[in-house]
Amino acid sequence: MLVRKPAATLSWIDVDVGGDLHRVVFSGLGTDFGQSIRERMEWLSGPGDGLRQLLIEPPFGEPSICVDLVTTPVQPGAQAGFVIMEVMGYPFFSGSNSMATACALLEGGYIPIDTQNGTQCVRLETPGGRVDAHVKLQEGRVEQVGIEGDEAFVHQAEARVYLPDVGAVSYELVWSGGHYIMVDAERLGLSPADVSKPAALTLAATIVEAVQADFDLLHPHLGDVGKPRFLHWMWPERMHPPGQWSGVGGSYGHPGVLWKCPTGTGTAARLARLAHQGRAQIGACFQNTSPSGAMFEASVLAVSSVGDYPSVHTRVVGAPSVAGAVTLTLPSSSPALVGRDLDWLFAENQATFIAPTLD
């Protein structure tokens, strides 16, 4: 017989990254030590998806919020694992979410601050693998985080999809922790000011759904990673000086969200695309500014391959900032739980989050 607790408690730290709120959750979910981080993600994306809905939908959230559920790592050397939850589902990796998680772990006291010349490496584990967060701190506060994570590569070049009311739309498909549909915004007559408007959000949704319709690509190492749910609007890159690129880019998450930050994975995807075109080598960097004015910078650290696809290993830099800490106590009778199938959250044997081992 399932014994239910009268209430469940969730605790998190909200971190702003480029104008977007990232909710780093530290309690409320037990850890199954027999599961990989990917398996925990897959469970959450199925029977556990009500938690994502609870935290990014009213009354406690809104769709542009990103959630990072911290959990005990599996890989040797990792200090914490985390599962990413967004409007589009569950990415394997995310730059801005990695920045936020590292910031919250340090400023929340979950990992001791131990800097060398003002910097510290926080070793994280995502469903897609290991992530290193190189953190600059000043008097215990995070000033900047550089993320080294998943290899980025062009998975499909010179692709095209046909839309009845628009015609042929050219795009490239780039993997950088999730599949990004890379679209030249100028070719469709869109300015940076346009892409947050309802018509452009509808157009982005239509493109994503058209690409999804016959999508069957598998990641060379990860296998089935689901259908593309990201689109990155691009405006022309400028180079000044040689190897130093800049441009404007807006990241859309399906359905219906244009993030204020350009996203770390979107920025890495831009740099992978430049490398694929022969315009970026080791040492090159790209400053990606979102339509709302937030900027991330990515640099090429190394080149390699993922399966048969040439890839780049990047570091993406941003400046996260703690917005506040929240503890939410939910009675089992809360109307916010209706339709979200969260009975498991109230089980008596549901363990509180087991904090990562401090080392």
Per the CB < 8 A criterion, the answer to whether 343 and 334 are in contact is: no
Q: How far apart are the first and last CA of the chain?
A: 40
Neighbours of 292 (CB within 10 A): 17
Query: Which residues are the active-site residues?
Result: 94
